[in-house]
Amino acid sequence: IGTELNLSYQKAKNNLVNSNEFSFTNNILFPRLVTPFRELNKKRLPAQQTFITTSLSYIKRYNYFDLKTLALGMGYEWNSRPSRKWIFRPFNFEFSYLDHQSHIFDSILHKNLYLQYSFNTALVMGSSFGYAYTSENGKHIFRSNIEESGLLWGRLGIFKNYMKQFVKLDLEYTNIKPFVKSSLILRAFTGIGVPVGKNETSLPFFKQYYGGGANSMRGWPIRGIGRGGQTLTPYDSITFNDRTGDIKLELNAEYRYNIITIIPNSLVLRGALFIDAGNIWNFKNTKTGGGADSLQFQFENLYKQLGISAGTGFRFDFNYFLIRFDFGFRFKRPDLIENDGWKAPSIGFDDGFKKIFTRGENNEYRKWRYENFNFSIGLSYPF
């Protein structure tokens, strides 16, 4: 039996919009298969287990909305070989209730059909199937997962006002190249969610992809990149700015190296150089009248709409856990049309400290960070 409790607090760039998040997760594990089929229960597979998961989460976006989510699920894990893991979830239930919507948020939804479909009370009922492969030397890792909602339960007509119908596929590959006192990690991730209901335009908010933050596209704040070539919201705006989408593509490269052993066998300071490339997009055209939609994924616009960031970071490795500090700079911005978005951040040795750590006159350095830079703190490695 395992229990997890998380609390987080996020402050916006202008200190006007804040968010609080609370989540509780409880897992119950059985070291065998527990199914309605007696013969199947007798099977003995490597690392087999049955799991039951319950979670609650509460997100409060001040001046906008409250989002409450209840999730229930059960499934099975087993290994066909030591290097190959299978995960099957025959039942997954997630109900998300949008409450206390402000007039500001309602006016935003009224102007944006895509957000209307994404941000509403929604029910997900379906199943998923996953596969993971790790090579014997641990250098190659592949993960995949396919999830559906509403394809079976939706036909029964229950909860039809809230039921979301979609199919979602995630693919991830990681390659680890170890050296004597360092390593190079290469990663590729792609995910696509396809709304399949008659009136479905997008995935529900809590099932969509996002970029930015401590673990993805580290030159942008969390949910700060995309969708497609969407323009950057002005720095002093209080407009709702969460950016999520149905498609995500991301490529990462990170070189990790040791700096110094602070406490033998207890604390090591490590460094990293990284580069991230990617973005998120809509799956469907959501523009009124069916005109060209810069937020929709189109292969011919892929290069122009890729974001690229690079930076450096420090990791305090305590053996049992790791604290990570990353400094990410944007070098290619999807929101810029000129030069296909390529624009190196204007920073030098003479003003670097000021731009990263101070406000500047009339918040000029804060605005510079908003357009060019992101600092993130994370636990464990991003991938």
Q: For the beta carbon of residue 258, count every other beta carbon within 10 angstroms.
A: 14
Q: Given this model, what pLDDT does residue 62 score?
A: 75
Q: Given this model, what pLDDT does residue 161 score?
A: 78
Q: Given this model, what pLDDT does residue 300 score?
A: 93
Cis peptide before 227 (omega within 30 of 0): yes
Q: Which ranges of the chain have pLDDT less than 70? A: 1-19, 113-114, 117, 238-240, 287-292
Instruction: Using alpha carbons, select from 317, 314, 324 the residue that is nearest to residue 266.
Output: 317
Q: Given this model, what pLDDT does residue 17 score?
A: 44
Tell me the DSSP string of 36-54.
S-HHHHT---TT-EEEEEE
Instruction: Tell me the chain's radius of gyration from C-alpha atoms.
Output: 22
Domain coordinates of the chain in residue numbers?
A: 209-383
Q: Residue 207 in contact with residue 166, Cβ under 8 Å?
A: yes
Q: Given this model, what pLDDT does residue 105 score?
A: 82
Q: Residue 226 in contact with residue 248, Cβ under 8 Å?
A: no
Alpha carbons within 13 A on the beta-carbon side of 162: 14
Q: Give pLDDT tens digits for 218-271.
A: 999 988 999 999 988 888 776 667 899 999 999 999 999 999 999 999 999 999
